[in-house]
Structure 1
C-alpha cells in the first residue's frame, strides 16, 4: 500500500470533488471544474493560500421599526458592531440583553456566510477544526467573535504559537476559570484541558494519578505557572486585553514530573506560560496527538495500528521537523494516495450536509438586503444547531462527539432522532416549506434555481441523462439502474421517457409559458428533493 506516496492517478471531477468536499464546505460545479483545470498540485497550493478577513459581522436589524427590532446605539443598520463598545450604554439591562442577542445572531449568520462564500480554500474548514479543538463557550458577543477571529487568523499557522495565544484569550480565560486562578485560590481547569485536550492527550492510566503522557502533579504545577492572569470588565475599553497581576502569581520554580523529564519551570512572571508550553511541546506525543485529530477531521475517525504506523507517525515527524507548522504535513496528507483512497467513509457533519446542499444546487443567500442575506444564513445556523452541531455551543469541552467518541464517531450524526431531521432539512432547502426549531416556525422559500441547474446539463431533455448527471453532482459516484428507475418514477410517475422529453423541450421553446414553467419546476424540485434525502448524499 502506498500510504503517503504522492497521488499519481487521474485528477478528474471525482477526485476534485472529494478533495474540495473534505477541505471546504461543499463544492459547486464551477469550483470542481476550476480545480480539475488547475490540477492537483496547484489546487493544493490554492487551498492553503491565506485569505485575510476584510469584512466583519453587520447589524441587520432595522432600528425601531417594529416590536422585535433592536436599538443598538453604537451600530447603524448595515454597519458592523464589532468596532462598537463591548458594553452598550443603554437604559436597561433588558435592552442590553436584546442587543447582545442581536449581535450574537449576526455573528452566527456571518460565520455561515464565510463558509458559504469560501471558494477553493481550507481556511474556514480549519477554523472550524480549531474551534472544535479549543472549545470555548460564549461569554459575550465581542469576546466570542474575537476568539473565533483569533482562530481564523491563525488557522494556517503554527500550532504551538496558537496554543500560547488561546491560553491568554479573554474568552478562554473566563470559560476555563483562568481569570480565577491565583496563588491563594489555584484553579486547575485550564491546565488540565491544556494537557488532556489541547496539546498532548491523557493516554492510559498507568498508576495512581499517572497517565501515559502526564501526571496529576503536572496539572497542579502548570496551574501554578498560569496564575495571575486577569480579565477586565466589559465596560472597560481594554475588556478584550488580558492583564497580569504579579501579586496573584505563584512565585518560585515549578517542578514537572518524569513525563516531562523532570523539567523545572523557573520563575518568569508573565512569560512563564510560554515557557511551560514550550516544554510541553518538546514531547513528541504533541505532534502525534494533533496529527490524529487532523486525520479524524479530514480523513477517517478510525485509526488502526496500520494507520498509526504508516500515516500518523510520518506526518507527526513532518510537523516536528517544521516546529509545529501544520501546513506541510497537511499538504502531504491531502496529496497522498491514502487520502484519495479514503472515500465514502465519513458521514457528513450537519454543517457539511447543509453546505453540500446549498453549493451543489447553486443555492445562495438572497442579495436583496443585508437583513435578507443574514436571516437566510441564520436559518442555516439554526438548522445545524438543531442537528446538534452548533458553533460556539459545544456539548462539552471535548467538542463534538463525532470526532472522539468511540465506537460511533461520525455515526452520532445519524441516530434515530437526528436522521429524520437531516432528511427533512435537505428536502426543504430544495422544495421550500416551513420548519420548526425550538417551537418557532421559519418559512423557507424554494430558493434552489432548479431550472438554471437543469439548463446547465447537456441533454437534460433525456430523463436518464438528467438524473445521472444530477447524481454525479450530488453524490460522488454513479447510481444503480434500480435507483435510476426509482428516481425517474419521481420525475415522471409511471410514464415513458418521452413524456419528460416533450414537456421539457416545450418549456425550452416557451420559457415564458407560466403553466409549463410551474410544471417543470415542480417536477425538478420533487426529483432533487428526493435525491438529497438519499443515503448517498449523507456521506462523503
Structure 2
C-alpha cells in the first residue's frame, strides 16, 4: 500500500499522528459555496464566522447552507452596547454605576449571545456582525487606556456600536464615521485641532492624519492588488511622505465635540465630565473659525486620482475638505488589498496567499455592481473563498491558520456551555485585559494588541511568515490565561458551592448536556472535538485525553470528566491554532 503524502494521506506510524481533516478531496468536486456537507465543515465555517459553534448553529447551517446563513446574518438585528449602559443607570443604587466594566459586560452579552437583562427575552444572534466589528476594532483602534477615555464608557460603547452598524456597510462611510467619532477625536487628537497661528506657535496636530493613512487605509508601502509590495530597484515604494501627512493634518482642523461652543474651543471642559452626554455619542461638529481654509493641501497622489496631482486647493469648508480628503484616501488602490488582508487575518488565517488577497481585494474594488468598498460583499468573499474553505487541506496546509485570540477562548467556552448568571448581569471579577492580554477597545497603543506584520522569532520568521496574535502570547499570558480558564471551568458552574459563585452576577457554566455524555468518555470527547476543534483533533491528542478520562471515576454526575476534558482541550496547542 503506497502513501499519497501530497494529498495528506499518510500511512503507518505517520498516520497515527496526523490531524489533517478528511475533507481533502472535497475541493474541486463541488462549488466552494456548496454545503456544508458534514457537521465538521459547518463547525469550521462557524469558527471563522462567529464566536464559536453550538449544536443548534451547526444544525441550522447544514439545513440552509452557507449563502442562506450569511443572508440571515446580514439581516439579523444588530446588538448595541449603549442601550445596555442606559439600562444600567435605571437599576437600584449600588447597581447603576457605569464604567468600563459595564461596557465589557455588554460586549460579552452581545458576543457570546447571552441572555440580555436589559432587553428580555432577546438572545443576541448577530454573530457574524459582532465578529466583524471586533476585527474592525483591531484595525481602527481606540482604547480606554487613553487617559481622556478611561472614564468615558459611553464614548467607547458608542464607538463600538458605530463599528457594529458599519460592519456590513460601505468602507467610505465607515472612514467618515470613524473620523468624526468623539472617541477617535480624543484618542488621536483631532478634536480641537486648529489652523496654523504663527503668533501663538500653533500648528495642526498630525496624529490622526498619520494614523488614518498608516493604519486605517493605505499603509506605508504601495501594494499590488494581491497585497505584495510594489518594488522599485528592489525596494518597496512609500505610499506617502511627510508633506502628505502635513496636508491631511491641515484638512482635519476645526472639529470638536458636539455641544462645544466657539467661545469654549478648543477646551470645551464641560463635555469631559458628563460621561453620558450626547456629545460622546454624536459626530463631532465643524467650527469654521478654526479650520484652515487658506492653505493648499497635498494629499495622496496616485494613478487616476480625482484631485489633480492629489492637491486639494484651499477655500472649502471643514466638511467639504474632509469629504474630499476621505474620497482621496478611499479611492487609493492600496485600500482594497490593505484592508482585505487584515480582515482575512482576523477571521481565517494569518498568512493568506497573494491569490486569496487579490480575490477579496477585487471584490472590495467592485462588488459586481460597480460599488467600491462594500463590506458585506468583502466578508462574504473572505468566508466563501476556496482558501478559507479548503486551505487547511491544500498544499500549504502547514502554513494555514492562526493563533486564537486568548479572550475568544472564554467567549467560546461560555457559548458552548450556555453560561448564565442568576440575574443576567456579568461580574468579570478579574480584568480580562490583565488576564488575557486583551479586551475590546482596551489596546495599549493605536497599533492594536498585536501588529498584522508581527513575526515570532524562530521558524515562523525564518520561513517569512507572520504570526500576529503571538505578540501577546507572552510568558505571563501563557500562564495567566490557563489559570483564569481553570478557575472558571472548575469553580463557576451551576450548583457550585464556591463562595464567589454564589453572587447573583457571576457567570455559571451549565454542564448538564455534557454531563449526560460523560459515562462514555469517547462520546464526550467526540462532542467537544466537533464544537471546539471542528473534528481536527489529532489521534495522538485524542488518545492522551481519552486515557485521562477513562482513568477518572465518573463522579458528580459526570461533571469531573467534563471539566477535565474542557480544560485540557482549551489549553492545548492544537486547539490554540485555528485551522
TM range (shorter): 0.7 to 0.9
Helix, strand or coil at the partner of 2:440: coil
**Among residues 411, 420, 425, which one is paired with 1:365 in the alignment?**
420
Shift of 1:131: 1.3
Q: 1:535 corresponds to which residue?
A: 573
C-alpha deviations, 1:270-306, integer Å up to 9, x for none? 3210111112222221122111111111221224444
Q: Is the 8 A contact 1:402 1:409 kept in 2?
A: yes
Q: Deviations over 1:333-377 (max 9, x none)?
A: 3123221113471211023211222222x23121x224xx221xx
Specify the alignment match of 2:155 in structure 1.
Answer: 143
Taking only aligned residues, the RMSD between alpha carbons, in angstroms, comes to: 3.4
The answer to whether the Cα contact below 8 Å between 2:171 and 2:373 also exists between their aligned partners in 1 is yes
For 2:365, which of 313, 317, 323 is the aligned residue? 317
Structure 2 unaligned spans of 5+: 1-26, 114-123, 223-230, 261-269, 393-399, 456-465, 494-498
Q: Report whether the alignment pairs 1:115 with 2:115.
A: no
| 1:214 aligned residue (210, 234, 240) | 240
1:316 CA drift (Å): 3.6
SS in structure 1 at match of 2:99: helix
1:387 corresponds to which residue? Answer: 436
CA contact (8 A) 1:160 1:277 kept: yes
Residues 1:229 and 2:255 are matched in the alignment: yes
Take 1:335 and 1:449, find their aligned partners in 2: how far apart are those partners?
Answer: 34
In structure 2, what is the Cα distance between the partners aligned to 1:358 and 1:7?
Answer: 29
Partner of 2:522: 464
Task: State how far apart, in whole Å, the 2-side matches of 1:482 and 1:19 are.
Answer: 24
Residue 3 of structure 2 corresponds to none
| CA 1:339–1:54: 2 relative to 1, 3 Å | closer
Name the stretch that deviates more: 340-349 or 237-246.
237-246
Specify the SS of the correspondent of 1:396.
coil
Determine if the alignment matches structure 1 residue 374 to structure 2 residue 392: no
Q: Among 139, 144, 157, which residue is 2:169 paired with?
A: 157
Counterpart Cα distance in 2 of 1:278 and 1:397:
23
Match of 1:41 in 2: 67
| Preserved contact between residue 59 and residue 106 of structure 1 (Cα < 8 Å) | no
- The one-character-per-residue Cα deviations of 1:49-89 (angstroms, maximum 9, x if unpaired) are 2423477224898xxxxxxxxxxxx64339997xxxxxxxx
Shift, 1:250, TM fit: 1.0
More helix, by proportion: 1
Does structure 2 retain, via aligned residues, the 8 Å contact 1:191–1:222?
A: yes
Is structure 2 residue 418 aligned with structure 1 residue 354?
A: no
1:432·1:446 contact (CA, 8 Å) conserved in 2?
no
**What does residue 27 of structure 1 align with?**
53
Q: What displacement does 1:238 show?
A: 5.3
CA gap of 1:11–1:402, structure 2 versus 1, over 3 A, is farther
- Comparing 337-346 with 48-57, greater Cα deviation is found at 48-57
Shift of 1:221: 0.9
Give secondary structure in 1 for the equivalent of 2:138: helix
- Trace 1:24-423 onto structure 2 (pairs within 5 A): 24-53=50-79, 56-58=83-85, 75-77=90-92, 102-117=98-113, 118-119=124-125, 121-138=127-144, 139=149, 140-183=152-195, 184=197, 185=202, 186-203=204-221, 212-231=238-257, 232=260, 233-234=270-271, 239-240=279-280, 241=282, 242-252=284-294, 253-256=296-299, 258-259=301-302, 262-266=309-313, 267-271=315-319, 272-309=321-358, 311-318=359-366, 321-343=370-392, 345-360=401-416, 362-366=417-421, 368-370=422-424, 373-375=425-427, 378-379=428-429, 382-383=431-432, 385-401=434-450, 403-406=452-455, 407-423=466-482
**SS of residue in 2 equivalent to 1:48:** helix
Contact 1:58/1:77 (8 A) holds in 2: no
The change in CA–CA distance for 1:385 and 1:28 in structure 2 (over 3 A counts) is farther
Q: Report if the CA contact (8 A) 2:76-2:126 is conserved.
A: no
Could you tell me how far apart the structure 2 residues matched to 1:53 and 1:533 are?
A: 30
Deviates more, 1:293-302 or 1:418-427: 418-427
The separation in 2 between residues aligned to 1:255 and 1:474, in whole angstroms, is 51
Question: 1:94-133 deviations in whole A, cap 9, x for unaligned?
Answer: xxxxx5xx42211111111110114363111111112111
> CA contact under 8 A between 1:21 and 1:27: conserved in structure 2?
yes
Do the aligned partners of 1:6 and 1:332 also contact (CA within 8 Å) in 2?
no
CA contact (8 A) 1:108 1:391 kept: yes
